[in-house]
C-alpha cells in the first residue's frame, strides 16, 4: 500500500501515478487512460485533482513487498 493516512491537499496541481518498469535503469511510466486506440502517441496519464484519490488508486498498482515501485507524482512538475 502506498499510504493509509489522509493528506490535506492544498495544491492546485494534478496528481498522476507512475510505475517502475526497470529498477536498474530508473525507468518509470505513467498509468494511462484507456483511449480505445492502439496509438502509442496518444497516451494520456490518468490525472487526479486530489492527492488522496491518487494514493488510493495507486494502491491497486502496488505489489505486496514492492510498494516502492509505485509512486504518486505532481503532474505539473513532471511536464
pLDDT in tens, 30-46: 999 988 877 777 889 99
Q: In 3-state terms, what secondary structure has residue 76?
A: helix
pLDDT value at 15 more than 80: yes
Mind giving me the DSSP string for 14-39? -EEEEEEEETTTTEEEE-B---SS--
Q: Does residue 21 have a pLDDT over 90?
A: yes
Widest Cα–Cα separation across the chain = 37
pLDDT higher than 90, residue 28: yes
* Eight-class DSSP state of 61: T
Q: What is the mean pLDDT of residues 46-62?
A: 95
Triad 31, 37, 51: Cα angle to 5°: 25
Amino acid at each position: 500500500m502506498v499510504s493509509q493516512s489522509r493528506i490535506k491537499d492544498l495544491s492546485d496541481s494534478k496528481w498522476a501515478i507512475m510505475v517502475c518498469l526497470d529498477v536498474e535503469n530508473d525507468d518509470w511510466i505513467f498509468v494511462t487512460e484507456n483511449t480505445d486506440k492502439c496509438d502509442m502517441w496518444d497516451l494520456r496519464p490518468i490525472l487526479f485533482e486530489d492527492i488522496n484519490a491518487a494514493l488510493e488508486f495507486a494502491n491497486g498498482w502496488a505489489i505486496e513487498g514492492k510498494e516502492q515501485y509505485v509512486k504518486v507524482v505532481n503532474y505539473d512538475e513532471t511536464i
